[in-house]
Structure 1
Amino acid sequence: MESPMPLPTCQALTLTCATAIASTLSTYAATPASSNSVAVQASPDFPVAAPETVGVDSRPLVQLSEMIRKENLDVRSFLVVKDGKLIFERYSKGLTRNHNYELYSITKNVTALAAGVLVDEGKSRLDEKVAPILTQARPDLKEALTDKQAIELRHVLSMSTGLVYNFKPTDDPIYYGAPDRLKLAAETTPKVAPGTAFDYTDVNPILASATLGADAGMPLQNFAEAKLFKPMGMSHYAWERADDKGLVSSGWGLRLRAVDMAKLGQLVLTGGRWDGKQIVSQAWVRTMTAPTSAPWYGYYWWINDIVATEPETHAMGFKGQFIVVLPERNAVVVMTSMLPIEGGLRESKNVLAIRRMVNDYVLPALSNPAHAKSTPASRKALARELELASQHQGQAEAPADPTDTPKL
């Protein structure tokens, strides 16, 4: 797989910003509960507030929504959370807060959070060897795993196992027919030594799902439900597309509402806390969002590949699913969409789209408190635009799969 070059504007800042993310996240994690609206809320979702009440200028957000309509983009949801409050919630035609979406690779980011809980509980270790764990769970794969004895959990979570899988262009059994994904992953060929190179391949999250499920003593989706989804008040969630042996991939198949995606971003923003509870440790959040096998990649979380000028970490899914965490702004941005996939892993058209949206519209909205004054005109403009958005259905520019249909 081709490795796209980093953002040119980020080359001098990537390591600095990535390192600063952990420090800034820690600052918000230490915020007293009395000043953290998420920590004291009673609702399972976010309290809703007008942008101007938290010092946000709604005009650039209105302009963003207008741009989406004028360019006929298939953006299905777009949310902004600021100071623990949901200040912008845009859905396209026929969609509501309770619709869920296929998140594709954002499934990996949830897996990383689940891994953190297991590490916190002493059930997993970053330096644990995955082959012995998988061999115990699947003795029939012992021979296939013989050449993978050096692979550790940290390599699986950082896309640095060194394994190569011969992906087919269509109907690949690792994604579709899926009789036994773990067997396919176990039979892959080592290309380089573990930990020596970043290579984004969907073999790794299959190994992650099987290893973490074995550590948890239950399927990974059940562990995530018990430790993440239910404690965070999520609903309408589903982890689908298990193979014939019941193994889900931790690389795709998870469906969440956009508001629950925002909760995951808020969890990272606040150092692992939600509703006054420490869901995952602050130490793990720091570890997960620090560079590992590449300066722009941690443990399944991306670093400063959307915003190059300040600390930022994000989750990214195929066809334009994003959770962007902005620590210096105490803000989270979420988008679900069907935007073009051409351009490569980090330079695809949907990645370029979210960069434009965040940098040209969201950041200006968050950066203009002097003009963040609520007026009848501003409230009317925002309400009218959201109404127009709710009647708009953009043109899907990515190849559609049945799982791409939003569900209730």
Structure 2
Amino acid sequence: MYEYRNPDKKGMNQRKKIWLEKIINSSYNNTAGIIVLKNGKTLYENYFNEYTAASTVHVASVTKSIFSALIGIAIENGYIKSIDQKVLDFFPDYIIGRGESTIQNVTIKNMLTMTAPYKYKMEPYENFFVSDNWIKAALDLLGGKWQEGQFMYSAIIGTHILSGILVKATRQSVFDFATKNLFLPLEIEVGHNVVLHNKEEQLAFFQDKNVSGWVTDPQGLNTAGWGLTLTSMDMAKIGQLYLDRGRWQGKQIIPAWWIDESTKEHSRWGNLSYGYLWWIIDDKEHIYAALGDGGNVIYVNTKKKMVVSIASRFMPRAKDRIKLIKEYIEPMFE
């Protein structure tokens, strides 16, 4: 049993605590909550900007890393044969455009490692959001010129195809599958689906301080790349689950082999390594993270048995939380 609500008083003295919080308030002032776990114990837990332990925030692209877990669970349970399955295997009624061929070779693994090709240089978010069928819109943009293994980050559009694949494979809604197989065992309550009808509602969702739920598309499919809301402790639980290779209170929630594969390098973007929708911070030390816009982070350092979760309210060009963790937080809990 992890001591989530009983921070270890020896873990941090008052002087260090004041210094850390001064840095957070001055340079990372959109922070909602920070939790530090080591060896399964809470060494630090604090909230900022009138947020509390019960507050949920939109974790942005942290959603991707959590969705990766759902794909692994689906494979382990036989819903999906393997990550080498072709994307179009799940959409047999999709009509391929004339002259299009590369889309036929795109696999689930390409989607997970951000090595799928797209017919754009910049994601056309607005056109995608106003379409009446997000899966079809995403498939229409998949393909084109393809250099095998080339990293092309899809923040929203391409990743949404994974939602369609999960629903087609499991014949369950994403929400129901995630609740039964991941959220309930961890006592995470997402609450409800959120339908955003227009651009104004989408912007409000990003900026609302009291946001909750999980966004769906017009067909009711939950988003895979963004749109999930969690508390700081929910994020810490996910990190601890990964640190413990998928086991939670004696039960295997995510297959250990999937966590091992998900958190090692499969593709690369410049100096950054990427696993299966997880960023690899240090492959040798086995440090990896789920990173979301605005400064949302689930950080796992397997060598130090440490998890850091940072929930943040959306802010453009938020300061790098990995720097905060590596330069300030980790050294305090050596």
TM-score normalised according to structure 1 size? 0.69
Alignment of 1:17-32 (within 5 A): none
Q: Is 1:131 paired with 2:83?
A: no
Taking the aligned partners of 2:305 and 2:38, their CA distance within structure 1 comes to 6
Change beyond 3 A, Cα 1:234–1:273:
same
Change beyond 3 A, Cα 1:144–1:113:
farther
Question: Which of 1 and 2 has higher RCO (CA within 8 Å, sep 6+)?
Answer: 1
C-alpha contact 1:165 1:203 (8 A) present in aligned 2: no
Taking the aligned partners of 1:217 and 1:194, their CA distance within structure 2 comes to 33
Which residue is 1:240 aligned to? 214
Q: Is 1:177 paired with 2:130?
A: yes
Taking the aligned partners of 2:115 and 2:14, their CA distance within structure 1 comes to 42
Gaps of 5+ in 1: 1-36, 343-348, 368-408
Which residue is 2:201 aligned to? none
Change beyond 3 A, Cα 1:275–1:164:
farther
Q: CA deviation at 1:240?
A: 2.7
C-alpha contact 1:178 1:243 (8 A) present in aligned 2: no
Q: CA deviation at 1:355?
A: 2.5
Which residue is 1:303 aligned to? 280
Identity across matched positions, percent: 25
Which residue is 1:350 aligned to? 319
Taking the aligned partners of 2:188 and 2:139, their CA distance within structure 1 comes to 33
Q: Secondary structure at the match of 1:316?
A: strand
Q: Is 1:81 paired with 2:58?
A: no
Equivalent AA in structure 1 for residue 325 of structure 2: V
Q: Secondary structure at the match of 1:78?
A: strand
Where is the helix percentage greater, Structure 1 or Structure 2? 1
Q: Is 1:151 paired with 2:128?
A: no
Gaps of 5+ in 2: 193-212
Q: CA deviation at 1:49?
A: 2.6
Change beyond 3 A, Cα 1:157–1:58:
farther
Q: CA deviation at 1:154?
A: 0.6
Equivalent AA in structure 1 for residue 104 of structure 2: Q
Q: CA deviation at 1:340?
A: 5.1
C-alpha contact 1:273 1:280 (8 A) present in aligned 2: yes
C-alpha contact 1:165 1:185 (8 A) present in aligned 2: no
Alignment of 1:11-90 (within 5 A): 37-38=1-2, 46-52=4-10, 59-71=15-27, 73-90=29-46
Instruction: Say which of 274, 284, 298 aligns to 1:323.
Output: 298
Change beyond 3 A, Cα 1:219–1:166:
farther
Q: CA deviation at 1:252?
A: 0.8
Q: Secondary structure at the match of 1:164?
A: coil
Change beyond 3 A, Cα 1:112–1:195:
farther
Q: Is 1:359 paired with 2:326?
A: yes
Which residue is 1:216 aligned to? 170
Which residue is 1:256 aligned to? 230
Structure with the greater alpha carbon radius of gyration: 1
Where is the strand percentage greater, Structure 1 or Structure 2? 2
Taking the aligned partners of 1:109 and 1:226, their CA distance within structure 2 comes to 18
Instruction: Say which of 156, 159, 163 aligns to 1:205.
Output: 159
Q: Secondary structure at the match of 2:165?
A: helix
Q: CA deviation at 1:308?
A: 8.5
Taking the aligned partners of 1:100 and 1:89, their CA distance within structure 2 comes to 15
Aligned length: 307
Q: Secondary structure at the match of 2:105?
A: coil
Equivalent AA in structure 2 for residue 267 of structure 1: L
Moved over 6 A (4+): none
Q: CA deviation at 1:64?
A: 1.4
TM-score normalised according to structure 2 size? 0.84
Change beyond 3 A, Cα 1:250–1:194:
farther
Which residue is 1:10 aligned to? none
**Greater CA deviation, 357-366 or 319-328?**
357-366
Taking the aligned partners of 1:155 and 1:340, their CA distance within structure 2 comes to 30
Which residue is 1:372 aligned to? none
1:2-22 deviation per Cα after TM superposition (whole angstroms, max 9, x unaligned): xxxxxxxxxxxxxxxxxxxxx
Taking the aligned partners of 2:333 and 2:71, their CA distance within structure 1 comes to 32
C-alpha contact 1:144 1:186 (8 A) present in aligned 2: no
Taking the aligned partners of 1:167 and 1:200, their CA distance within structure 2 comes to 10
Q: CA deviation at 1:62?
A: 3.4
Taking the aligned partners of 2:24 and 2:104, their CA distance within structure 1 comes to 49
Change beyond 3 A, Cα 1:166–1:93:
same
Q: CA deviation at 1:164?
A: 3.1
Change beyond 3 A, Cα 1:134–1:301:
same
Q: Is 1:227 paired with 2:181?
A: yes
Equivalent AA in structure 2 for residue 358 of structure 1: I
Taking the aligned partners of 1:72 and 1:321, their CA distance within structure 2 comes to 11
